[in-house]
Structure 1
Amino acid sequence: MNQTELNKNKQLPSKKERHKLFGSVDPGPRTKPEQKEKMVDLQNSKKDFLFNIDMVGISNVKHPIQIPSQLVPQIQTTIGTFTFGSSIAQGSKGTNMSRFTEQLDKYHHEGFAIDIETLKKFTKELAGRLKQEDAEVEVSFPWFFERKGPYSDLAGMNHADATIKVLYDHTTGYDVTVELTGKITTLCPCSKEISEYSAHNQRGNVSMSVKLTEDFDEQQIDWKAALLEAAESNASARIHPVLKRPDEKMVTEQAYENPRFVEDIVRLVAADLYEYSFVEAFEVSCRNEESIHLHDAVATLSYDKKQEKTR
């Protein structure tokens, strides 16, 4: 009798016996209460716990969200990655972790559109649910937008990585920071200058972190589109999902006509961000994935408009 025939005739023990074979044991006696109101709540213990905690919460929470946009598509469903938190005073042991996801589920059933006003409301309510003086939420998501070829007008979808951070404090109010990382084309000015013909180019990654003014109106300005324009309009050329030959000719010639170092990119983008009235402070960085080097080229620039008022 071969092994296949032996396996066909094998008599297995019951599933319960199989579990016992691999270490499962019968349940022991139950002595602790099962009702929530009778359970010990360690997280709400009140003693001197040595230090205040700046932030405690949960992170890497993935959840479906809706993104409004002034670019096509104007409403899109994507996945947000959340971080929630609040501070904890020295006299409190901890926080109630389940209340973060309870708040998220509540907004999900109401239709969770990720805009700044909704996140402000969310964060203030979260502080109340946690019985804390402050709370914070951060959500990162891919944002998609339509891009057409400059000659053919054929459309495809590009995307950038976006983040919104909202901090609420009972005393000081809201602090809102937005971030966007988009991709561009850069052509090396040095290569163009020293070469008899052609010049090497590369894909650049422009990251912007912006603190918004208190009076920022998202109904008037789509911050995502504004930051994207600051990055792309100062590049050697824009990135396109669909390029026919006439498109490619236009894009490569445009790149050749607009050479940029990473140093040039951060200064030019900074100039646009400086001129945006809704921007209070910013940091911009550029990382070029070099085509003729194994390394990346990087540059970073930060500026706070409030500081210039005190000079």
Structure 2
Amino acid sequence: MIKYPDVQGTKPDIPMAIQKVGVKGVLYPIIIRRGEREIHLYSTIDVFVDVPASRKGADLSRTIEAIENVTDQPAKVSGVEFLAEDIAEKVLSKFPYSTRSEVHLEADYFSERSPEDGKKHMVKYRIISRSVASKDSSVTSIGIIVHGINACPCAMETTRAMTGEEFPLEGDILAKIPSITHNQRNTVTVVIQTDRAHQLEIDDLIDIAEKPVNGPLVSVLKRRDEGELVYKAHKNPKFVEDIVREVAESIAISYPDFPEDYGVEITSESDESIHPHNAFAKVHSTFGELRKSLKS
């Protein structure tokens, strides 16, 4: 029987530790069983471990084995975030020379939504999950990416002033209605640290993320529906800063039992219609810091 050499286990020419080695873009079907629901997702998974200075490389095939070991037991998987956590822990058990493992998992998620028109639309979202495992603990998070529309409040007040100057006798009316402004598609991303004792429903998180950006965006809009969406956005114009603050406030209120030190990350990015660049805002905080801000 041939004894194959362990090339990865040999000493490297340069004895330097590497913090992240692994595989990216592993495509894998997964099944989530949550209550009475069975959710089929097509996921993209990245898996990493650290490699000590004494080794030339990592045994990368073990990362795929870990994914297969965990996903072969769908009855035990109740959430995307816990699937990522289970994979991270399984990976670490297969790499005795590593001190930490990291898993990033994303998947398209389709949800039936009813916007202003009251009709049901199938809307695609992107679920995000991350988990970092060490020998004695794991840190896991779950998140969502949603799309909406926001109108610029700065341009609105500028055009209101310009219109008032042109039509001075109509000042009272102009002050009561939305003025002309530019609007754009806005992408909101929310990622929240969680654990098995502090869980959340992804549909609830979608509602929180979509509200400030007048979501959901749907593929079919009749004239009335289109008008109502645009009018709604212009009645409540927002900067990207306003959006992340509103989402942060809603999260702090919606999850009062989440631990103070658990992380919250929120971003808002507008595909600016009048600029060749995008507008961006980010809140990177903890539940404790968010609650403190709301009290001040």
TM-score, normalising length from structure 1? 0.74
RMSD value, Cα: 3.1
Q: CA 1:56–1:255 in 2, change beyond 3 Å: closer, same or farther?
A: same
Is contact 2:84-2:104 (8 Å) kept? no
Alignment equivalent of 2:113, drawn from 133, 139, 147: 147
C-alpha distance in 2 between matches for 1:157 and 1:69? 20
Is contact 1:49-1:92 (8 Å) kept? no
C-alpha distance in 1 between matches for 2:85 and 2:283? 28
Alignment equivalent of 2:42, drawn from 59, 67, 79: 79
The 5-angstrom pairing of residues 176-191 of structure 1 reads 176-191=140-155
Is contact 1:155-1:242 (8 Å) kept? no
Identity of aligned residues (%): 24
C-alpha distance in 1 between matches for 2:239 and 2:99? 46
Which amino acid in 1 is paired with 2:81? Answer: I
Q: CA 1:309–1:236 in 2, change beyond 3 Å: closer, same or farther?
A: closer
C-alpha distance in 1 between matches for 2:183 and 2:291? 39
Deviations 1:150-175 (A, max 9, x none): 23x3222112222211111113x011
SS of the residue corresponding to residue 198 of structure 2 reads: coil
The 5-angstrom pairing of residues 1-311 of structure 1 reads 35=2, 38-45=3-10, 50-67=15-32, 74-111=37-74, 113=77, 115-131=80-96, 132-151=98-117, 153-171=118-136, 173-193=137-157, 194-195=159-160, 196=163, 197-212=179-194, 214=195, 216-218=197-199, 221-222=200-201, 224-275=202-253, 276-277=255-256, 278=258, 280-305=262-287
Of structures 1 and 2, the larger Rg is shown by 1
C-alpha distance in 1 between matches for 2:140 and 2:55? 27
C-alpha distance in 1 between matches for 2:282 and 2:265? 7
C-alpha distance in 2 between matches for 1:257 and 1:308? 27
SS of the residue corresponding to residue 245 of structure 2 reads: helix
Indicate the larger mover: 273-282 or 227-236. 273-282
Please state how far the C-alpha of 1:250 moved relative to its aligned partner: 3.0
Which amino acid in 1 is paired with 2:95? Answer: L
TM-score, normalising length from structure 2? 0.77
Aligned residues: 267
Please state how far the C-alpha of 1:117 moved relative to its aligned partner: 2.8
Indicate the larger mover: 55-64 or 286-295. 286-295
Is contact 1:168-1:175 (8 Å) kept? yes
C-alpha distance in 2 between matches for 1:263 and 1:309? 18
Gap runs ≥5 in structure 1: 1-33
Is contact 2:271-2:277 (8 Å) kept? yes
C-alpha distance in 2 between matches for 1:69 and 1:133? 31
Which amino acid in 1 is paired with 2:271? Answer: E
